Amino acid sequence: MNVTRELAARIVASRPQDIPHDVQHEALRSLTNYVGCAFGGCRDPAMEIVVRTLAPFSGAERVGVIGRSERFDALNAVLLNGVSSHVLDFDDTIPKNYIHASTTIGSALWGYAGANRVSGMDFTHAFVIGFDVTSRIADAVFPSHYDAGWHSTGSIGVFGATAALGLLMRLSEDEMVAALGIAATQAAGLRETFGSMAKALHPGRAGQSAFLAVMLAKNGFTGPECGLEGPAGFAAVQAGVKSLVSVTERWGVDYDLRLNAYKPFPCGIVVHPVVDASIALHNEHSLTADAIKQVRLHVGARVLDLCNRPRIETGLETKFSAAHGAAVGLARGRGGLAEFSDEAARDPALRALRGRTVVVADDPTITEANAQVDVETYDGRHLSRRVMHALGSVDRPLTDDQLTAKFIDQAEPILGPARAQHLVELCWRIDKAGDVNTVLEAAVAPA
Amino acid sequence: MNVTRELAARIVASRPQDIPHDVQHEALRSLTNYVGCAFGGCRDPAMEIVVRTLAPFSGAERVGVIGRSERFDALNAVLLNGVSSHVLDFDDTIPKNYIHASTTIGSALWGYAGANRVSGMDFTHAFVIGFDVTSRIADAVFPSHYDAGWHSTGSIGVFGATAALGLLMRLSEDEMVAALGIAATQAAGLRETFGSMAKALHPGRAGQSAFLAVMLAKNGFTGPECGLEGPAGFAAVQAGVKSLVSVTERWGVDYDLRLNAYKPFPCGIVVHPVVDASIALHNEHSLTADAIKQVRLHVGARVLDLCNRPRIETGLETKFSAAHGAAVGLARGRGGLAEFSDEAARDPALRALRGRTVVVADDPTITEANAQVDVETYDGRHLSRRVMHALGSVDRPLTDDQLTAKFIDQAEPILGPARAQHLVELCWRIDKAGDVNTVLEAAVAPA
């Protein structure tokens, strides 16, 4: 049996009762974090532009969008939730393959559930399977796909969203094969967009492509038999990978939700060890920007490729700068939304400190999961801090209470304290909802 | 200056009066052929599925779709016109790089013009520039991009459609740079879909991506500065190509519309020499299927990769089979829509003849533009025909009258003879229209 068909068979045979309890709880953590991050980004300038652009193109169905009062059809709601949940780079990441799985799957699911009655049990099940499909494919083509320049959140997220929506729309095995093939031929998203708003299009656009693929397949549209593994299919063309057998290995035993990470800092995940170490140095030594003569960051090799932008003018660009992550940590002792904003990008003290920072990948014992921050002060001190596991990593995860606090921080400015608290409680028990749309309606902003 | 910006500057500086007369006429040939092919496919099963699927998702604007009575918003109209104009593989091709340029640009333009007043002069100008941008980029990354497995009609067509719509929406140079970058990060389409309906999604989906890119850029959405040539941009990631300097060379002097080819046979263009030679043998020797003992096709090497499907069950699959192209030519003396249909796929005499056919790429003097068909009959004759330039190639083009006849063949079953004749006359002078939408309205089917 070929890989696309074998994967399709496993997806359609999956049942909610198969999901282990710990995985089910991790799904609630991911979904709660997802909704919180959508609030964080729901009034971002990128979001305002997309809302304005799509307004004339929305069909008769009127679906709510997280944190907004405007309503759109389900397909456009997917794009909008994708932008808001990803634009701040505050959403979750699977550290072993760098994919942001929840933003793509979550946005597709929320759009669909706004227009169709979906139980919390089916919703959570679809999310778990979509997440697993995303991460399994991401693993099978890692690192060649990512290193080639693809932003897998879009280019692979489309498969997980297809699996999730395909489950909710009850595709047959043949239809799921077609849907995965129709998804493959829409797989897109380039890392060249990092630092611009265009990056935030990836999850929503992939979610829309998945939605279209599933609806078309359900209606009898035909696709290739081997969309994933064929000679001109996804893995060969977009990763140069020939074997995808690992995609279905240990299916139903291993769940990659167990390896998901939730960000305490809204920036590229490979910068997190730097931020964490820098905050620790700030706190220990009461550092200020003008006390620091020079900073030397020892990081993993991929950080130089992903997060070492030479020119920082906007908040979106700060998210991909290890030097900026060090500067805010060292100078402010914080790495919150305000530290990765347009204001922080232009702050003269931070700008000068970035200019006194060198980023090197010269220590083979340091991977992308670690960092060492060396500081020399004007008064002659040499300070150093090494972080092996940053706060928010799989080995040092945010607690449920920390995730709740992150949610409230982002939702409260939109909903006020009482509604934000009510909504986070609904999210933590979304698997018990009779109709998920009741949760979505509680997430819609007052007009 | 980098390539994306240089290209953007040339696009936005272009003026209708710059277009040479012969290029202007070729644009009319391409647009007329485009509209005719959209009629050919407008009631294809693939089209019926997409119409049904998109019905709930169409916004307040109601734009006509070629050959249909239903109305959709402009973005959905782009997808629908893309499917109908491409699904039969009867649309034009640039033989030097295999791209179907008109289906993607034409579908984007027709969708936009349905919702916005566009003069025929601006419409034709935008088409010429979009066509040129598409072919220039296709050339710059040929053959690595195509041979890797990309269907460039989608993955590169998105850039031409962006240029065309960007001209109509009067983007500034900065906005055009952003739009090309937002287009790059949506570039998609795999050759694995050949033989399935999913191939027909490429032009419309690329047209929608372009439309979204241009609207977003116009509204201030930011993209990468070097979407085409950056280290994680289109050319590096999707073609392994480093230099794109040829993209703007001889701009305004060379126009690739002069190298466009219009198909007399609705199948992959590399099969055309085979069909042409086979029809000639049929006519000369009054061949029938059961008189033929064996067929040997000498073709260019790429034909084995693109058009040598082992299993033929559907009309869509016949379009990518050199053996099928030979069979219909030899047995029926024709290569029209009926010869590449589900009926032809299942015809026992054609099926048996395909089984007695061998396809080889053993003659280094034969490229994809040529073919030699050798036939051995049961009564002992050895017949052979070599075609150097197939009917419809750049060297043996269809005349304007032949294009009119091809249009009428496809439009008459939908519109009736009088309306079809009226419409083709409108198409031949679309550059003179005060509002292109008057032509589109004449192409809408009666309810």
Question: What pLDDT score was predicted for residue B310?
Answer: 87
Residues 6+ apart with CB under 8 A from B259: B94, B95, B96, B135, B394
Closest residue of chain A to B44, computed from CA coordinates: A221
Contact A421, A427 (CB under 8 A): no
CA B148 to chain A, closest CA, distance in angstroms equals 6
Query: Nearest Cα to A16, choosing from A110, A120, A113?
Result: A120
Q: Quick: pLDDT tens for A169-201.
A: 999 999 999 999 999 999 999 999 999 999 999
Q: Identify from A186, A306, A307 which residue to disrupt to test chain B contact, counting B C-beta atoms within 10 A and taking the largest count.
A: A186
CB contact under 8 A, A192 and B58: no
Give the alpha-carbon dihedral of A260, A265, A270, A275, to 10 degrees.
-140
| Distance from the A154 Cα atom to the nearest Cα atom in chain B, whole angstroms | 9
Mean per-residue pLDDT, A311-320: 95
Query: Closest to A224 (Cβ–Cβ): which among B150, B184, B193?
Result: B193
Query: Given an 8 Å threshold on Cβ–Cβ distance, is A192 in contact with B151?
Result: no
Q: In whole angstroms, what is the distance from residue B159 CA to residue B85 CA? A: 19
Q: How far is A382 from chain B (nearest CA, A)?
A: 37
Is the per-residue pLDDT at B341 higher than 90? yes
Sign of CA dihedral B213, B217, B222, B228: positive
Mean pLDDT of chain A: 97
| Residue B237: band (very low, low, confident or very high) from pLDDT cuts 50, 70, 90 | very high
Picking from A187, A191, A224, the nearest residue to B188 by CB comes out as A187
Nearest by CB to B193, which of A181, A194, A215? A181
Residue A103 DSSP one-character state: H
Minimum CA–CA partner of B215 in chain A: A53
- Give the gap in angstroms from C-alpha B218 to the nearest C-alpha of chain A: 9
Chain A residues whose CB is inside 8 A of the B188 CB are 185-188
Residue in this structure with the two tokens 């693939």, named with its chain if needed: B46
Residue A2, exposed/middle/buried by CB under 10 A (0-12, 13-18, 19+)? middle
Here the tokens at position A432 are: 């018990």
Q: How far is CA A47 from CA A52, A66, A200, B47, in A?
A: 9, 11, 9, 33
| Chain A nearest C-alpha distance from B376 (Å) | 34
Given the structure tokens 């100008």, which residue do they identify? Answer: B125
- Chain A closest CA to B189's CA: distance in Å? 5
Q: Which of B44, B53, B57, B150 to mutate to test the interface with A (most CBs of A within 10 A)?
A: B57
**Could you tell me where the DSSP H helices lie in A42-172?**
45-54, 74-86, 101-115, 120-140, 144-148, 152-155, 157-168
> With bands split at pLDDT 50, 70 and 90, how would you rate the model's confidence at B293?
very high
A365 has a pLDDT exceeding 80 = yes
How far does the CA of residue A231 sit from the closest CA of chain B (Å)? 7
3-class SS of residue A432? helix
Looking at the complex, report in whole angstroms how far the Cα of residue A69 sits from the nearest Cα belonging to chain B. 18
Q: Using CB atoms, which residue from B194, B219, B222 is nearest to A52?
A: B219
**For chain A, how many residues are written?**
447
The partner residue sitting opposite B196, judged by closest CB among A74, A224, A316, is A224
Overall average pLDDT of the A300-328 stretch: 94
- In this structure, what token pair is assigned to residue A220? 């009898």
The pLDDT confidence band at residue B196, using thresholds 50, 70 and 90, is very high
Using a CB-CB cut-off of 8 Å, the residues of chain A touching B201 are 182, 185-186, 216
Distances (CA, A) of B110 to A54, A62, A286, A413, B289: 19, 27, 63, 43, 43
Confidence check: pLDDT of B60 > 80: no
Instruction: Identify the pLDDT of residue B224.
Output: 98
Nearest to A129 by CA among A244, A217, A2, A257: A257
The predicted pLDDT at position A446 comes to 87
Give the lowest-confidence range in A263-277, A389-403, B224-238, B301-315: B301-315
Whether residues A198 and B316 touch (CB distance < 8 A) is answered with no
Distance from the A377 Cα atom to the nearest Cα atom in chain B, whole angstroms: 36
B243 pairs with which residues across the strands? none
Query: Choosing among A144, A156, A199, A221, which should be mutated to test the B contact, i.e. which has the most B CBs within 10 A?
Result: A221
C-alpha A268: how far from its chain's center?
A: 10
What is the spatial distance between Cα A213 and Cα A102, in angstroms, rounded to a whole number?
19
Contact B155, B189 (CB under 8 A): yes
The nearest alpha carbon in chain A to B195 belongs to: A224
The confidence band for B62, taking pLDDT boundaries of 50, 70 and 90, is confident
Supply φ then ψ for residue B254, to 5 degrees: -85, 135
Q: Which residues of chain A does B190 touch, with a Cβ-Cβ cutoff of 8 Å?
A: 184-185, 224, 227, 232-234, 237
Distance CA B375, CA B357 (A): 9
Interval B222-235: pLDDT, tens: 999 999 999 999 99
DSSP state of B306: H
Q: Which residues of A touch B241 (CB under 8 A)?
A: none
Residue of A nearest to B55 (CA): A59
Structure tokens at A272: 């997190």
Q: What is the pLDDT of residue B447?
A: 82
Tokens 């050949």, located at residue: B194
Spatial neighbors of B14 by CB under 8 A, at least 6 apart, are B125, B129, B167, B252
Contact B202/A223, CB-based, under 8 Å? no
Please identify which residue in the block is written with the tokens 């694995």.
B192
| Residue bearing tokens 């300070």 | A383
B202 touches B210 (CB < 8 A): no
Which residues 6+ apart lie within 8 Å of A268 measured at CB?
A89, A194, A306, A307, A319, A320
Q: A39, A136 in Cβ contact below 8 A?
A: no
Q: What does the pLDDT read at residue B58?
A: 79
Which 3 state secondary structure label does DSSP give B266?
A: coil
Q: What is the mean pLDDT of chain B?
A: 97
Beta carbons of B237 and A190 less than 8 Å apart: yes
Percent of chain B with pLDDT over 70: 100
What's the whole-number mean pLDDT along residues B248-265? 98
CB nearest to B237's CB, from A150, A216, A220: A150
Nearest by CB to residue B75, choosing from A57, A74, A226, is A57
Q: Is the pLDDT of residue B96 over 80?
A: yes
Tokens of B411: 């439009």
- Give the pLDDT of residue A310: 87
pLDDT in tens, A409-434: 999 999 999 999 999 999 999 999 99
Contacts with A314 (C-beta within 8 Å, 6 or more apart), sequence order:
A195, A342, A345, B222
* Measured CA distances, B176 to B78, B172, B226, B236 (Å): 20, 6, 12, 20
pLDDT at B72: 94
CB contact under 8 A, B185 and A197: no
Interface with chain B: mutation pick from A98, A158, A162, A193, highest number of B CBs within 10 Å: A193
For residue A212, what is the nearest residue in chain B, using CA coordinates? B53
Q: Given this model, what pLDDT does residue A399 score?
A: 98
Q: Are strands B357-360 and B292-298 parallel, antiparallel or unpaired?
A: parallel
Instruction: Tell if the CB–CB gap between B198 and A233 is shorter than 8 Å.
Output: no
State the pLDDT confidence band at A219, using cuts at 50, 70 and 90.
Answer: very high
* pLDDT band, residue A377 (cuts 50/70/90): very high
| Closest chain A C-alpha to B427 CA, distance in angstroms | 28
Is-cis flag, bond preceding B348, omega within 30?
no
Over range B430-446, report the average pLDDT: 97
Contact A45 B220 (CB under 8 A): yes
pLDDT tens-digit profile of B9-33? Answer: 999 999 999 999 999 999 999 999 9
Residue A178 · residue A210 · CB < 8 Å: no
- Please give the model's pTM, rounded to 2 decimal places: 0.96
The arrangement of strands across the sheet holding B382-387 comes to B357-360, B292-298, B371-377, B382-387
The Cα-based distances of B204 to A267, B114, B124, B369 in angstroms read 35, 15, 19, 28
- Sequence letter at residue B210: A
User: Sign (positive/negative) of CA torsion B339, B340, B343, B344?
Assistant: positive
- Report helix, strand or coil for B383: strand
- A/B interface, count of CB pairs below 8 Å: 195
Contacts of B58 in chain A (CB under 8 A): 59
pLDDT at A56 over 90: no
